[in-house]
Structure 1
Amino acid sequence: MTPQYYNENAEELAKQYLSKSFEEVHQSWSQFLPAIIENPNARILDLGAGAGRDAKHIAELAEKQHKTDNNIQVYAVEPATELANLGAEVTKDLKVKWLNDALPSLSVITKQEVSFDLILLSAVWMHIPQSDRARAIRKLANLLKPGGKLVISLRHGQTEEDFKQRKMHIVCTDELKQLATDVGLFTKLETQKEADKLGRSHVSWQTLVLQMPDDGTGAFPFIRHVAINDGKAATHKLALLRVLLRIADGHPGAVLRRESSPFGDRVILPAGLVALYWCHQYKDLIDTHQLFQSPNKSPNMGFMKPNGWHKLTHRSASDYRIGNLFTGEDAIALHKTISAAVSNIKTMPCRYITFPNQEANSSAKVFDVASKTVKAKDSIFLDLQTLEQWGEFSLPESTWLAFNRYACWIEPVLVSEWVKTMASYSGNSQYSSPEKQFHLYQALNWLEPKRTTTEVRNRFEQLKQQLPKSEQIQCVWSAKSLQQKYDIDHSMPFARWPNNDLWNLLPTDSQINNQKSDRLPTEHKLKTAKARIQQWWQTAWLNDDISSASAEEINNKHEVNEAPIGYLISNKLFTPPKTLEQTSSVTAESKRFFAEANIALPGLNSDNTSIDDLFEALVMQRGRLKEMQQLREW
């Protein structure tokens, strides 16, 4: 925006703006205002305040609400001096501070070193060129308090005169929502297009209310600070944050314990699990896409050792998964790779990620590694107990809970920053232009499990042949006997929580499964089905007297690319031997079954073998998904 037009036409424009009341213009989002005004210490920014109509209304509300106890500060920012002078006159008897400033730099307001409960951009966004919008939204996000709201009205229907004289630009709701997501904001409200209050038939308006998440602890702003504002000589910091987010989101059972410290409660994870996920996310970025992860001319990172990482180039990221078995030279190389990753995590991101205003060598560490030396062996089964051998990783409980609760908002921020960081490295110069960065986003896709029930369906068919007719398998939800038509259901809906673990896949009547769809079973329905679910678990995976399908049988029944990732060994399906560091009575299926469950479900010990405890954890996870994702229930 250039202030010239608005200075030259200040009086006429002021008369136009003041002809409509705040309630008329902002009725679509004003329901959020009372809760903000209730706080006697709230801080509000009216950006592009024009003739002061909105600042005046908000300041009057504050005085009416709090009278002599009113500490609410209203900042009115207007780049057109003549218009601002008229606005200052309108608000002269109220607590309104006028400043001359403009997006995208907002240098004056930034120097105030304050943050806001509400930022209002009324009829401003269309003045910001597309090239400046990412910077503008980042500035605005940095000015918001946790839980703060950013209200932006979008004007649709600019004329040629608007483009030329008033320096307006086309706006797009989807573009703005994506920019907001990239800086950690989520959309609280999106209105439909509304008619212009001044009666202009070619103009319509739309309002977005964006919000900064608030976990009540300050952990979310800290995570944003590390991801967006903290110095990044390499991608280590972003990598560690994303690893921890993925563990918190998908593996609540990974918590070994919680313990107190002088600086607050902390969550303890297996260091080997953090290292395994570290290798998982870097694997395809480096080996497949050959993307540099630091400004150095060498593509090699500190954890990429000749006797470890470089001996596993034939492996894919999906091999680094709980429930998988590595043997021979691959197992030895994986031991050494995990050891190198633990060391690298300890000496790089853990050392340099600090709380704001804290030195790197301070005893109040954000993330800490108590590592142990592990001797390489020619067999490694990836479960929690194995990964505990490398020691312990600790982080503040508040940060863990923020990752756990706000994963869907935090991850897009991490990915966006990772893309920008990689694009800035000379080794990735071919992707430096924005239009070529789609490849970087693709490379950062976390390989989610593909929805598959093939392995469990094969097991069902095998059991149907082996079990006597008097012991027909029942639908876990309805108790119907399953003969011909049946489905394998993800008890916790895959569409909302991608998980193909053995415990989560249950035989179901097809009609019942269609009714359930991607809804979450109610707690009552889940508990009613307890006996049948546990009977299926016991029969399919935990009974040693019923043999499971051999690798050859499974291979003959479905494609390798549909196979369970946990059994992909050198592109062939592999069944581990029956004895893997446990007694001979424990089958490989049983070991895998509990390895997957004990890390995916909350509150279980890594050595748990109780299906009663497992079921209680499943009920807890159902409640977590209901609370965090507000899923529809069935």
Structure 2
Amino acid sequence: MTFDPYNRHAHKFFNQYQSVTCERVHSDWLHLLQNKSGLALDVGAGSGRDALALAERGWDVVAVEPAVELRRLGEKITAHTSVQWLDDSLPHLNDTRKLSHRFDLVLVSAVWMHLPPSSRERAFRILTELLAPSGLLVITLRHGPGDGKRVFYEVTKAELDRYARQRAVVPVTLEHTSHTDELKREEVTWETAVYRLPDDGTGALPTLRHIIVNDNKASTYKLGLLRTLVRIADSAPGMVLSRSDDWVELPLGALGLFWIMLYHPLVLKHQLRQSPGARGLSFAGEDFYKLGQVSPLDFRVGLRLSADLAPVVMRAIKLASSNILKNPAHFTTWPGTHRQIFEGALSRMVVRHEAVRLDKETLAQFGTFRVPSMLWDTFSRYACWIEPAIVNEWINLMSGWEARYSIETYHKALQWSEGRRDTTLVRKLVEHQLSVGSVECVWTARDLSRNRYDIDHCFPWSRWNNNDLWNLLPATQSANAAKSEKLPADFLLKQARPRVMNWWENAIMGTEREQQFFAEAEVALPMLGENHKVEAVFEGMLQQRLRLKTNLRLVEWLGM
């Protein structure tokens, strides 16, 4: 697909699209939405007309538009609504898929005729994979001659229906499927095709249930691997190195690190058996036992480890990573087969006696680990349901091997080491800024007093345990109390943007905390990658806000 005409004539196309309303253009299918709302994907969002209309109906919208000049115009008219823009395109939608969203509505309006026939089957498959259960896929088809400036291909609804049968999505019958062109072009007509996904379409949940409940287990290692992956998908989605249609690739060292943090309290604090009998643990070497002198929070992602602690942690990660590949990854297979579900490879790396920052780049030095994309998306979306199931089965295994402990002890040992709700460091940063100038409340723009201010977890700690520097923001006590454990609404977070970024620039950028800030953000926020700019971190926050709202159904705070 070529986007040059849409960039060169952005204002012309913008005015053209805005000259007709969403309700007129999409009158044949809009009634299917009734009064419902949810998460929508507008592919080829153009001027933002349809994205804006959906947002005004109460929908959260991800608007995909590859033409940068047209996208900028669309961003302006949707700036104060719950619309997040992405530079992405069919047939691949690579960045969209990185978000691991499932959409209640996918709209592909006036786009399909630009796709060459060779790309359409793959594009249709990807669009259906992005649907949530009962989600609607709406595609409008343009019939008629081209304009000599853009590339058009012939399209048919019969072709779409054939793809739909292959993807097990159900056609939705409309009273009217064809209509004339709203721009009064006599030679142009339009046709609408609507499809619904009847279920989750993946088979991922039954597969996970089989592994968790039914699969043979000589130790807790299979459960440990699943919980490690769920934890990374939920709290560190930025760990993804690459993604294809079939696989998500992670740094093998990330699995080793999370594995150690998971088993640290079980083995070193509570001395609980992780397999029957008294045999040792293959991942627990001398370095793992040395870590009993420190807390798991002392070697979490983003921190810089001293030259004394770093080699111990790195060697422990290396042994854990090797064990993951040899044991749980090797023996976790698709139900009824001997085919491994997960794949991975160790890299040759030398552990040196020097300080190390536990960031994504460092953890990738240990090797790579591949997870089927459908399972990764399920881990990401359903972590709050999958993890309790894993913990429950883990307790059943341990109590069968060693019944002398109470259920409460097992639960306590399996608590993830998120630490306490700690704002001490950021309070020190506020105190320093107040000593040399002023600090604004990010929510109200009021100047903070040295004696009366709070540090707010932008995304509530009680629902998403995160003490990263980017998530801790200065606020008045009244604003923090009013917000409480709610998620800031999209428009509110966007309004706070200049104050949030000003806080980061003044308090963190150019200090010893800058590397930690970006290392934490790169791991916790989707799609940030190595774009170490405060603007990119804020965009990542907007995407993460939408992810938390969609996956956890959090109550939103609308401001003071």
The TM-score, its normalising length taken from structure 1, stands at 0.55
Query: 1:376: which partner in 2?
Result: 351
Contact 1:214-1:220 at 8 Å conserved across structures: no
Count matched residues: 361
Secondary structure, aligned partner of 1:392:
strand
Distance in 2 separating the partners of 1:319 and 1:337? 14
Q: 2:223 aligned with 1:249, yes or no? A: no
How far is 1:256 from its partner?
A: 1.3
Query: 1:537: which partner in 2?
Result: 504
How far is 1:429 from its partner?
A: 4.2
Distance in 2 separating the partners of 1:328 and 1:380? 7
How many percent identity over aligned positions?
A: 42
Distance in 1 separating the partners of 2:292 and 2:459? 34
Query: 2:252: which partner in 1?
Result: 271
Q: What one-letter code is carried by the residue in structure 1 that aligns with 2:396?
A: K
Match of 2:457 among 490, 502, 509: 490
How far is 1:214 from its partner?
A: 6.6
Residues 339-350 of structure 1 correspond to what in structure 2 (within 5 A)?
339-350=318-329
RMSD over equivalenced CA pairs, Å? 2.0
Query: 1:439: which partner in 2?
Result: 409
Match of 1:231 among 208, 216, 224: 216
Query: 2:300: which partner in 1?
Result: 321
Distance in 2 separating the partners of 1:291 and 1:354? 27
- Cα deviations across residues 508-533 of structure 1 (Å, max 9, x unaligned)? 12222222222111111111111110
How far is 1:438 from its partner?
A: 2.5
Distance in 1 separating the partners of 2:290 and 2:472? 35
Secondary structure, aligned partner of 1:395:
strand
Secondary structure, aligned partner of 2:442:
coil
Contact 1:604-1:614 at 8 Å conserved across structures: yes
Which runs of 5 or more structure 1 residues have no equivalent in the other structure? 1-145, 148-212, 545-586
How far is 1:430 from its partner?
A: 2.1
Q: 2:493 aligned with 1:526, yes or no? A: yes
When residues 216 and 339 of structure 1 are mapped into structure 2, their CA distance, relative to the original with a 3 A threshold, is: same
- Cα deviations across residues 326-382 of structure 1 (Å, max 9, x unaligned)? 2234322222111101110001011110111211xx3xx311112112211122211
Distance in 2 separating the partners of 1:522 and 1:410? 27
Contact 1:473-1:482 at 8 Å conserved across structures: yes
- Cα deviations across residues 453-479 of structure 1 (Å, max 9, x unaligned)? 222112101111123xxxx21111121
Distance in 2 separating the partners of 1:528 and 1:439? 46
- Cα deviations across residues 171-227 of structure 1 (Å, max 9, x unaligned)? xxxxxxxxxxxxxxxxxxxxxxxxxxxxxxxxxxxxxxxxxx974311111111101
Q: 2:407 aligned with 1:430, yes or no? A: no
Residues 18-417 of structure 1 correspond to what in structure 2 (within 5 A)?
215-260=200-245, 265-298=246-279, 300-306=280-286, 308-359=287-338, 362=339, 365-378=340-353, 379-417=355-393
Distance in 1 separating the partners of 2:352 and 2:332? 33
Distance in 1 separating the partners of 2:268 and 2:422? 26
**Larger relative CO (CA 8 A, sep 6+): 1 or 2?**
2
Q: 2:471 aligned with 1:504, yes or no? A: yes
Q: What one-letter code is carried by the residue in structure 2 that aligns with 1:285?
A: L
Query: 1:589: which partner in 2?
Result: 513
Distance in 2 separating the partners of 1:491 and 1:311? 36
Q: What one-letter code is carried by the residue in structure 1 that aligns with 2:489?
A: T
Q: 2:397 aligned with 1:421, yes or no? A: yes
Query: 1:615: which partner in 2?
Result: 538
Distance in 2 separating the partners of 1:338 and 1:416? 26
Largest Rg, 1 or 2: 1
Distance in 1 separating the partners of 2:307 and 2:426? 28
Distance in 2 separating the partners of 1:593 and 1:245? 23
Secondary structure, aligned partner of 1:616:
helix
Distance in 2 separating the partners of 1:464 and 1:242? 42
Q: What one-letter code is carried by the residue in structure 1 that aligns with 2:358?
A: L
Contact 1:279-1:341 at 8 Å conserved across structures: yes
Secondary structure, aligned partner of 2:456:
strand
When residues 330 and 323 of structure 1 are mapped into structure 2, their CA distance, relative to the original with a 3 A threshold, is: same
